[in-house]
Amino acid sequence: MKYTVSTKHCILSEKSLKHITRHIQKINQILPNFDPDSVSLDLVFKRKKERILSHASPTPKASLAICFDGTIKMVLPKKPLIVRFKKATIDEAVNIGFDRLFKEIETYKGKHFTNNSEFYNHDTIRKVGTGILFSEPCDVTRSDYFAQRRKELVEKYIKPSGIKDKKIIKAMLAVPRHEFVQEQYRDRAYVDASLSIGEGQTISQPSLVALMTELLGLSGEEAVLEIGTGSGYQAAILARLAKQVYTVEIIEKLALRAGDTLKKLGYDNVQVELGNGTLGLPKYAPFDAIIVAAAGSKIPKPLIAQLKEGGRIVMPVGDRYVQELKVGIKEKNRLKIKRSLPVAFVPLKGRYG
């Protein structure tokens, strides 16, 4: 789901940003069967002075008071939802706005879906022209089903996102993302969205995987280090574009599962290691490129030390709620940093996380 937040004459507090993030996560959970491109959310908060009358004395007196006007517009197939609200503080405005929006979503659900099972059904859905997904079994037994979905992924999301490298596009067409997600999410494997892989972790949205890969500038002869194996999907993409991929995962269950999947699919040039990724892999260093699939407050020093001169590192940097994808190029043992775009990743775990 795409969303924007804008303010006028006011600044959102960290508390408000956390509330907004939590509410948007909830919306993503209760609207599981929509194409992300068919849903958008726009939030506007405005600080203003309003004249009020006080009746505390026999003669009413006018005075000015600060208030916060808000509007949330959610565009859904068939009908947009719009809620307006006004509160004395911006935190109150955020909470009352989303409370009203959730009530509108429940009303919308009742009008356009016959029952909850149809609304929440993950396994028997299809997309129709309006963007709403209705109950109908997906023919995943067809040998070309997922191949066709990958083509749609590339044409609908990857190319429009600005990816031009033909080798990356070829890799996105070849790697079976559905093999790297949990069974209940296979029908959504080729939508441009992150998905849960368990253990509190996610598989990144494909367009972001493609972008981070492109930012590495691989030629095909590199040794690449990945921090945060997760599902193994990013490593599989890298395996088609580099000579050797080393990937580190701190969660044992994910490391074992990713290793099994990569081995089953024949990615022999990927080596999965269990460990603290913020320390890198000194025994295989130096690396031509390093990619970090989790966000930290800064790029860990051990990773900089293990990067070859002239090598590139791509990593999301920031706190839990505000992050920016950064590209570092090592020159004379120092990183020259370039900024890319705002992103949202799970936190980097480990000593330098």
What is the C-alpha separation between 310 and 307, in angstroms, rounded?
Answer: 8
143 is catalytic: no
In the numeric block, which tokens belong to residue 131?
């963007």
- In the set 204, 219, 231, 340, the catalytic residue is 204
Q: Identify which of 275, 317, 272 has the alpha carbon closest to the alpha carbon of residue 294.
A: 317
What is the C-alpha separation between 24 and 3, in angstroms, rounded?
Answer: 9
Q: Identify which of 41, 50, 21, 44 has the alpha carbon closest to the alpha carbon of residue 93.
A: 44
Q: Is 250 in a helix, a strand, or coil?
A: coil
Dump the DSSP string for 276-309: -GGG--GGG--EEEEEE-SBBSS--HHHHHTEEE
Amino acid identity for residue 21 in this structure: T
Residues 161-178, buried b or exposed e (16+ Cβ, 10 A)? eebeeeebbebbeebbbb
Q: How far is CA 67 from CA 46, 87, 97, 292, in A?
A: 8, 6, 14, 43
Q: Is 338 within 8 Å of 326 (Cβ atoms)? A: yes
Catalytic residues: 204
